[in-house]
Amino acid sequence: MTERISRSNCWSGAVGIAAALLFFVPVASAQEDPAGSINVLVEAGRLPEAAGIAAAWAEEQPGHLEALRLCGELCLEVGRYSQSENALRSLLFYYPHDSELLVMLGQALLAQGDYADAREQFEAAIHLAADSAAAYTGLAAVAVEDAQDPGDILSAAEIAINVAPDYAPAHTALGVALRQIGRSDEALDALKRAHELDPEHAPTLYELGLTWELAGEHDLARRAWDRFVRIAPHEPEAWLLQNRLVVTEIEPIMDRAFEARYSPDGTRIAYRSRGPGGWVLFTIPAEGEPQETMVWATEDAIQSIEWSPDGKLLAVAIYGRRQVEGQERPQAVRELLVVPSDGSAQPKVVMQSQYLGEIAWNPATGRIGARHYERRQGWMLVEIDPESGAVEETELPDKRLPYYAPWWSDDGSKLLVARRGSQLPDGSFTYDLLVGPATDLTSAQVVYSSSQLPRRPVFSRDGSIVLFATPGPVSGRISIWAMPSDGSREPVLVDRNAGSYASPSLTPDGRFMLTTREQMLSR
């Protein structure tokens, strides 16, 4: 199912108001007195700078307890969750029975989508402090993210309320749980109660705004979000609002689609679907009735699709079997083809490969980029001329490492690529996202590292944001994340339960994002 996801456009202006409050404050040299510099910055409201100094201090002096404490607290507050996690784990080595540290660690893990580990930390905190309202509220937040049964989602929040009936975050957790199971009116009541208990609790204001927006009360939503950003301009959700990345509506489009992509001008949607005896490539109008145009049908498996920059062609990567000279049995083969997007002609085979990964079209050169394998040479990134089939290898920063899907910004100036990183003690690997000039990937910078491979990373239309998918909290689901393309902020969750074939695709104005859930195309 493919869906069109609407992203809020009602919020405006608050970030600029908040930014104006960040006036100049003289700061002592961080090297001479990091704690003093951090305190001055915190008092001035310059939390990201304070967190940066704390993180550098903790890295330089990994055994300094004050540095670890400040890094853990401040990085958690401004969304640098992996740094907060590392500092808090180090602190817990010295203070293993500190329930507050366990709660903060749980919150950092929750924000990174590590729900099982987050639950473990919250439960450990409750074991040490049975009346820890923050720990019970954390468990309620985990239940919203990964519980399968609506009763489990709700009961976790109700337990938090019973433990701390006058604790605003517990009522906020209840409101989120009620909204999650479709009881919007009761959710609003719970969130209003949380706001009465603590008018300055920023998460309550954010959730109030989202609940109002989902109810169609755009003015009330804007007011709540304006107040939220004034109170917490450095929160990850403030960044989501600023960049219109808050999911406010899901609109079903088509009930038998897998991967789907907007055309460059946003007027059509291409998607692959199962058909009699194989796969079918369709396009439909982006707006109005989804009248299908069949572009091409094949017995082979269509694995990846992408529009040409002018929207006239579709590049298609397929997997099939062919009779190969000298072989008795048909051999597995992967092919790259191009086909007119209106279905007016049969596809042309551009390239055959032992392995052909996800594909992307370079708008600057008109060539198709892909991950490719050559015997005796190994894995490489290449660009293929769609007319001649000529292959040009991309020079990589480190050819010893496997690289994955390339993606270009709309103007062709930036290139985004995922690669395998270092090996972990358990034998698994980390994965890196790199962003660099399209003409010189060797100078690309690592903007994010994770233990999970970022799937189908793409740029936003203006190239300022990277979106990618990772395995979600529910089996068979994908979570979609967003982060600045310069790596200045860690990824923030956009959609926790997109479908197995989710790969973000944005309209030119950035208002809609396609995802797929159980073959239902939605936006």
> Band of the pLDDT at 186, cuts 50, 70, 90?
very high
| Among candidate residues 522, 520, 523, the one with its CA nearest the CA of residue 257 | 520
Q: What is the pLDDT of residue 230?
A: 94
Q: Report d(CA 133, CA 126) in Å as an integer.
A: 9
Instruction: Reply yes or no on whether the pLDDT at 513 is more than 90.
Output: no
pLDDT in tens, 271-288: 888 877 789 999 999 888
Q: What is the pLDDT of residue 521?
A: 56
Q: Which residue has the higher pLDDT, 93 or 406?
A: 93
Q: Which residue has the higher pLDDT, 132 or 329?
A: 132
**Most trustworthy range by pLDDT among 91-105, 153-167, 233-247:** 91-105
User: Contacts by 195-199 with C-beta closer than 8 Å and gap 24+?
Assistant: 195/168, 197/166, 197/167, 197/168, 197/171, 198/168
Q: What is the pLDDT of residue 375?
A: 74
Q: What is the pLDDT of residue 31?
A: 62
Q: Name the residue type at position 191.
A: L
Q: Report d(CA 343, CA 427) in Å as an integer.
A: 46
Q: Name the residue type at position 505.
A: S
Q: Report d(CA 483, CA 490) in Å as an integer.
A: 6
Q: Which domains are present in the chain?
A: 255-323+330-394 (2.120.10.30), 401-523 (2.120.10.30)
What does the pLDDT average to over 180-189?
92
User: Contacts by 134-138 with C-beta closer than 8 Å and gap 24+?
Assistant: 134/100, 134/103, 134/169, 135/99, 135/102, 135/103, 135/106, 136/160, 136/163, 136/164, 136/170, 137/164, 137/167, 137/169, 137/170, 137/172, 137/173, 138/103, 138/106, 138/107, 138/110
178 touches 186 (CB < 8 A): yes
Show the beta-strand stretches assigned E in 398-511.
403-408, 414-423, 429-437, 445-450, 455-459, 465-471, 478-484, 492-498, 505-506
Q: Which residue has the higher pLDDT, 88 or 278?
A: 88
| Among candidate residues 358, 347, 317, 348, the one with its CA nearest the CA of residue 335 | 317
> Band of the pLDDT at 3, cuts 50, 70, 90?
low
pLDDT in tens, 468-485: 988 766 666 778 899 999
Burial zone of 29 (CB within 10 Å; 0-12 exposed, 13-18 middle, 19+ buried): exposed
Q: Report d(CA 476, CA 92) in Å as an integer.
A: 34
Q: What is the pLDDT of residue 133?
A: 92
Q: What is the pLDDT of residue 1?
A: 53
Burial zone of 154 (CB within 10 Å; 0-12 exposed, 13-18 middle, 19+ buried): buried
What does the pLDDT average to over 107-114?
91
Instruction: Reply yes or no on whether the pLDDT at 30 is more than 70.
Output: no
Token digits of residue 181: 């199971």
For residue 397, the SS3 value is coil
Q: What is the pLDDT of residue 469?
A: 86
**Most trustworthy range by pLDDT among 2-16, 240-254, 310-324:** 310-324
In this prediction, what percent of the chain has a pLDDT beyond 90?
51
> Band of the pLDDT at 522, cuts 50, 70, 90?
low
Token digits of residue 172: 């906020």
Token digits of residue 23: 């006036």
Instruction: Reply yes or no on whether the pLDDT at 19 is more than 50.
Output: no
Average pLDDT, the chain: 86
Q: Which residue has the higher pLDDT, 513 or 233?
A: 233
Tokens 């985990």 locate to 142
Write the CB contacts of 240 (distance below 8 Å, at least 6 apart in sequence): 246, 482, 492, 494
> Band of the pLDDT at 316, cuts 50, 70, 90?
very high
Q: 3-state SS string over 336-392?
A: EEEEECCCCCCCEEEEEECCEEEEEECCCCCCEEEEEEECCCEEEEEEECCCCCCEE
Strands 301-307, 520-522: pairing kind: unpaired
* 138-142, 170-174, 514-518: least confident range: 514-518
> Band of the pLDDT at 23, cuts 50, 70, 90?
very low
pLDDT in tens, 219-272: 999 999 999 999 999 899 999 999 988 888 777 776 777 788 889 999 999 988
Q: Report d(CA 285, CA 262) in Å as an integer.
A: 10
Q: What is the pLDDT of residue 517?
A: 56
* 82-91, 249-258, 326-335: least confident range: 249-258
pLDDT in tens, 385-428: 999 999 898 888 887 888 887 899 999 999 999 999 888 888 88
Q: What is the pLDDT of residue 118?
A: 95
Burial zone of 468 (CB within 10 Å; 0-12 exposed, 13-18 middle, 19+ buried): buried
> Band of the pLDDT at 461, cuts 50, 70, 90?
confident
Q: Report d(CA 289, CA 266) in Å as an integer.
A: 15
CA angle 72, 29, 236 (to 5 degrees): 35
Tokens 């107040």 locate to 227
